[in-house]
Chains A and B, each alone.
Chain A
Amino acid sequence: MAEDRNVAWREELRKTIKNKERIEIPRVHMNELNAHYRARVREEVNQGLTVEQALMESKRCLDCPNPTCMTGCPVSINIPGFIKNIERENFLEAAKVLKETSALPAVCGRVCPQEKQCESKCFYKQKLGKDAVAIGYLERFAADYERESGKVSTPSIPAKNGKKVAVVGSGPAGLSFAGDMIKKGYDVTVFEALHEIGGVLKYGIPEFRLPNSIVDVEIENLSKMGVKFVKDCIIGKTLSMDDLKEQGFQGVFVASGAGLPRFMNIKGENLIGILSSNEYLTRVNLMDASDEEADTPIFKGKNVAVIGGGNTAMDSVRTALRLGAQRAMIVYRRSEDEMPARLEEVKHAKEEGVEFMTLHNPIEYVGDEKGHVCKMILQKMELGEPDASGRRSPVPVEGAIEEIEVDQVIVSVGVSPNPLIPNSVSGLEVSPKGTIVVDVFMQSSIPTIFAGGDIVRGGATVILAMGDGRAAAKSMDEYLKK
């Protein structure tokens, strides 16, 4: 690390501009589509930085001797390393530095909660009281530049070592694991339950935040490197773990994700028009239900309430706007400060006209004569003492009840781990919450089975899932070499 910083070009580069001048440069603003226009279309909201903007922003990075930003990154991306390559206008090299640690930089640059990770630990934020270097924007810039240049570097693949490994699930954890293992010489097959590769990147995150074409490029790259993908195949159902063993797979990485959507178990929750964010987003993103030609139906609500304050809630409420909602509301039981969503998503949602009903909690839904939801009854809340999560817990304000007309409610209050694998593999240690128990090496109670991502964490981020894929690849490689 230190060596890297001391290479001649970096030393030279640091001298070209005085730090005093660097810190005077204001943080770049992301180019965005106009809020009024974008709220009705599927186009990506963030348009990326221009070369000039990226160069200017890269100059803000002080190339600190002790880059604290890296401690905020779950996979310890060499942040100054890639940013300084941008500053010296070697964008392809910047992308290469990113790919040393991140399997999907174009994705992470778009969906990571940077303000809670790398950017929160930036020297600007920590010591200068200024806006952090826009690390996420620059990451996206480098990855997009490489992709659009047509000069995507495919890492050299060593000779095959003759060992087969299987991956269960093609989301971020599975893809990053597959990428690492193929580079280590393994024969890698990824099994996906759905009819599309990409997991949550495809069915969950909407087009306006992460275009499918970007995910597809990453998947194509893996295919080019030799990773095999099998769709419509559910491990534990179509093929058992024993089948995989028989087919010669020596190790299995389970990254089957957080399947089961949670509901609140309140009166009227099974009325027509009330659905999970998973169902809503899957219909729109994976099944393309809003396309006239597609067979999958979707109900396009006019008064839509989304229950929850996470990224999935923001994705759902903004999707509802794009499908023609006249009123789109976030109903969240805590205050905005406690919202788990990325700051940028909250900002974008507000700009697009989403109403935020914080400190409100649904307690009942009322239906019309056809069983379709027509009203929600909300309990007003106030903040009490901090709870186990460290956030101040909401408590009901006695007698403060509100009724609001709605014709669609999207419940986005979290997910539980998918039970298919835990239920179908005997001897696999599973926590009371249903997650697969692994040690620090991502190894489960069955030595040949490793696991990572939401099936282990119960609901986390793309970058943490990718980090797990990486860690599991390293451990499984060591295990299989023994």
Chain B
Amino acid sequence: MNKIVNKENFSENVVKLEVEAPLIARARKAGHFVIVRVWEKGERIPLTIACADEKKGTITLVVQKVGVTSTKLCDMQVGDEIVDVVGPLGKATHIEKFGTVVCAGGGVGVAPLLPIVEAMKKAGNRVITVLAARTKDLVIMEKQMREFSDEVIIMTDDGSYGKKGLVTNGVEEVILREKVDLCVTIGPAIMMKFVSLLTKKYNLPTIASLNTIMVDGTGMCGACRVTVGGKTKFVCVDGPEFDAHQVDFDEMLMRAGAYREQEKADMYKIAK
């Protein structure tokens, strides 16, 4: 059992949870994820670790209400216990001194981007972070990002905060003004697809961290398979990070909808 020790509502649908998981807090690195099951008949879903406190023995997860499990998770309170948290899973981010790194995050993808920004900075990179959201209230973790970034560019769809525009506008602005050596992007699949298309145009190597449907998270089921460079890969053990220019994002978007009908029916049950 993993107790929730802290909870912060970032917005109506986005919640930050600090959860007791001492062994994971100690072993995790930037890029790792966990599998979470919220109750005895719950499903197993993957969530990327936003940060960890080894001394307190906790990890932080940022969750957006999307489906059944994420909704139940967001509704949990401090003191509640999550029945299963297992990890850290996946391959850690490859960190080295690349030069200038642009980290582009959108939605709750900003949370798992934080440890990468931190690690890239500590490895001696110049880090420029682009945070994107629909509107001002949905911009998250700006303060923590500023701590490890040389510059933070904020993009909102409606222009209510930072600059008006999409994440791709922010990334392109940087590419046009200075030499960039690597781009790291985490966010909704559709966003990563467009970041990837943009950076491909400029031949800028780009890493995307994929979030797919998973059951076990340890390589056993193959639910998470994606096509990368024409080959089938498992996000859980081969990823979650891949060369974005090789990822078949259209297939990934299609596969993300595999259980949409069932999910709709289940959401209806929750609402009742």
Contact = CB atoms under 8 A, between A and B. Distances in A.
A270 B42 CA distance: 26
A194 interface: yes
B43 interface: yes
Given A279-B215, A371-B254, A238 B24 contact: yes
B218 to A, nearest CB: 5
A195 B220 contact: no
Contacts of B23: 233, 238-239
B27 interface: yes
Contacts of B72: 295
A153 interface: no
Contacts of A265: 231-232
Determine the interface band of chain A, counting residues with CB < 8 A from chain B: 35 or more
Interface in A255-304: 259-261, 263, 265, 269-270, 272-273, 275-276, 278-279, 282-283, 287-288, 291, 293-299
B220 A418 contact: yes
A52 to B, nearest CB: 41
A215 to B, nearest CB: 18
Determine the interface band of chain B, counting residues with CB < 8 A from chain A: 35 or more
Contacts, number: 122
Interface stretch (B5-13, B129-137, B170-178, B221-229): B221-229
Contacts of B255: 270, 272, 371
A370 interface: yes
> Max chain B CB contacts within 10 Å: which of A238, A275, A278?
A238
Interface string B256-272: 01110011001000000
A193 interface: yes
B219 interface: yes
Contacts of B44: 195, 287, 296
A288 B215 CA distance: 12
Nearest to B45: A295
Contact of B27 (A232, A237, A276, A287): A237
Interface stretch (B78-86, B101-109, B157-165, B203-211): B78-86
Given A272-B254, A420-B218, A232 B232 contact: no
> Max chain A CB contacts within 10 Å: which of B89, B218, B227, B257?
B218
A234 interface: yes
A293 B84 contact: no
A295 B219 contact: no
B199 to A, nearest CB: 24
B43 to A, nearest CB: 4
A67 interface: no
A419 B266 CA distance: 34
A263 B232 contact: yes
B218 A418 contact: yes
Contact of B219 (A203, A297, A371, A419): A419
9 contacts: A237-B89, A260-B234, A263-B222, A273-B258, A278-B221, A287-B215, A299-B262, A418-B218, A418-B219
Q: Which 4 A-B pairs have the closest CB atoms?
A: A297-B262, A279-B221, A371-B254, A296-B43
Interface of B: 23-24, 27, 37, 41-44, 68-69, 72, 83-89, 215-216, 218-223, 225-227, 231-232, 234, 237, 251, 254-255, 257-259, 262-263, 266
Interface of A: 193-195, 203, 231-234, 237-240, 259-261, 263, 265, 269-270, 272-273, 275-276, 278-279, 282-283, 287-288, 291, 293-299, 370-371, 418-420
Given A233-B86, A294-B41, A420-B237, 14 more contacts: A232-B86, A234-B87, A237-B27, A259-B219, A260-B219, A263-B222, A270-B225, A278-B220, A278-B222, A279-B221, A288-B41, A295-B69, A296-B43, A418-B219
